Amino acid sequence: MKNPPCIKSKRGFTLIELLIAVSVIGLMAAMAIPTFLKVTANSRAAAFARDIRTLSAASETYIMESGMWPPDTTSGVFPSEMAGYFAQRFFETKTPMGGRWDYELYDSGVTSAVGVYQPTLTEEDLLKADSIMDDGSLTSGQFRKLGDDRYYWVIAD
- DSSP per-residue codes, 81-140: GGBTTB-HHHHHSPPTTSSEEEEEEEETTEEEEEEEES-SS-HHHHHHHHHHHS-S-TTS
Within a domain: 40? yes
pLDDT in tens, 60-113: 999 999 999 999 988 999 999 999 999 999 899 999 998 999 999 998 889 999
Considering the domain boundaries, does residue 3 fall inside one?
A: no
Domain annotation covers residue 31: yes
pTM as predicted: 0.75
Residue with more model confidence, 10 or 26: 26
- For residue 156, give the 3-state DSSP assignment: strand
- Asked if the structure places residue 127 within a domain, the reply is yes
What backbone torsions phi and psi does residue 38 show, to the nearest 5 degrees? -65, -45
Q: Does 27 reside within a domain?
A: yes
Q: Is residue 104 part of a domain?
A: yes
Give the structural domain span for 52. Answer: 15-156
Quote the pLDDT of residue 154: 94
